[in-house]
Amino acid sequence: MKIREADTTVTDDDASQDTGTALATDSTPPPRRRRWVRRLGTTVLALGLVAGACIVDAESMAGDDPFEVKLGIWGREHGLGFAITWLEEVQYALNPPATGGTTSVATVLHATGYKARARVTSTYKPLTPIDRSSSLANEGRWNTLIASGGEPVISVSLMRPDSTHTSYLAAVVRINGKRATLNLHPGSEDPGNATRFGSSDVITKSDWKALIGAFNGGFKIKDAQGGFYLNGATAGTLAHGAASLVTYKDGHSDIGAWGSDVSMSANVASVRQNLHLLVDNGRVTPSADAAVKSSWGATVGGAYYVWRTGIGIRADGDVVFVFGDALSAQSLAQLLKAAGAVRAMQLDINKDWAAFYYFTRPSGRPEAKPTAHKVIPFRKPLSRYFTTVTRDFYTISLNK
């Protein structure tokens, strides 16, 4: 549409004869101002069109992620990371994690619908609380979630993350390395192309019979400072020295620095790398206190205390998984160490990715669809992983 500009000629009749200065006879802005207004209007219109395109593209992204998550991902992948980060920083500043206060282990377990289903008394030694300034009933005590052959297979212990964020409880999950196997699954978009990896990006019916647990994977591969390997196919590059969760064809798992603690062999089933070790030789690495964004991921707004997940290997071969809100890299590492991890690494972070489920089914019906349960309340729905997800994840299967 063409818009005709108004006549801007100033005649002698519109001028002051005694001063020689032109006087405005109407409200029409001078030419320079009108050009500026037109340019501003064009810019606003362009931004509106771009924003509209962003929204349409983001909404069309696959997966069950919330719209704001899709929009954030789209923005970061299209050069708008600075704007997304600024918005996240504002959001975090307005809603930081609470400090002080108290909580209850029994209340949190009740909120998740926990029942002593396994009927197996744990022989695990209770964990020593991180915060020793005050006592909390049942903190560090193990609760058996899944049992087999009279042994705990998946157990959970709830712990306060530190002496400051005392109204939060992190979940420390222990997985019996002799009775359970971890299975890596690709996400539909990261790394994508599940058939190439000989796997699926969703829990399928063929997984139901042995399924007892599931949890999130790591950062997007381009941000993980490492690679992804599954069934002979690789995405990214397996980096020397990177923290690596390795599963083997004989069913056991290990965690370590690639090229020294763990390396490629004919028995390797999968490798998921993510940053660098958080715990090494039973000690928290000095880098746990390093710059959060550069060392442990661009958290929401660079926030230090957010939802984090991490995984470690114990000397006895059991796997420990820790997750919760208001965690720093340091407090995550301390919880992993307290759980007995000799080597451990951070996995994904923030409320939109952190997830751990355990699964039960009716007695005598091993072929029935498993029922999902949470160990602490978190954002993702119970249907997570039964529908296509964009990011990689692990399932836990019970050994025969």
186 in Cβ contact with 201 (< 8 Å): yes
Rounded distance between C-alpha atoms, residue 272 and residue 325, angstroms: 23
**Terminal-residue alpha carbon distance, the chain:** 72
Q: And the tokens for 253?
A: 């798992």
Cα of 185 vs its chain's centroid, Å = 15
Q: And the tokens for 318?
A: 């059991």
Residue 194 per-residue DSSP state: G
Three-state DSSP class for 301?
A: helix
Rounded distance between C-alpha atoms, residue 217 and residue 187, angstroms: 9
Render pLDDT for 121-170 as a digit per residue (tens, 0 to 9): 788 999 999 999 899 999 999 999 999 999 999 999 999 999 999 999 99
Rounded to 5 degrees, φ, ψ at 211 are -70, 125
328 in Cβ contact with 304 (< 8 Å): yes
What secondary structure does DSSP assign to 92-151, as a single string?
Answer: HHHSPPP-S----HHHHHHHTT----S-----SPPPPPS--SS--TTTT--EEEEEETTE
pLDDT at position 245 is 99
Alpha helices in 258-345 (DSSP H): 292-296, 329-338
Rounded distance between C-alpha atoms, residue 144 and residue 122, angstroms: 6
Three-state DSSP class for 29?
A: coil
Rounded distance between C-alpha atoms, residue 209 and residue 397, angstroms: 9
Cα of 36 vs its chain's centroid, Å = 45
* pLDDT < 70: residue spans in the chain: 1-85, 116-118, 291-294, 297-303
Rounded distance between C-alpha atoms, residue 310 and residue 296, angstroms: 11
CA-to-CA dists, residue 32 to 11, 29, 40, angstroms: 19, 8, 12
Three-state DSSP class for 180?
A: strand
Which helix H or strand E contains 183, and what residues bound it? strand 180-185
Residue type, 378: F
pLDDT at position 289 is 80
Q: What is the largest CA-CA distance in the chain?
A: 108
345 in Cβ contact with 245 (< 8 Å): yes
pLDDT at position 366 is 82
Rounded distance between C-alpha atoms, residue 192 and residue 201, angstroms: 8
Bridge partners of 318, per DSSP, are none
Which residue, 351, 348, 368, 349, is CA-closest to 360? 368
Cα of 386 vs its chain's centroid, Å = 18
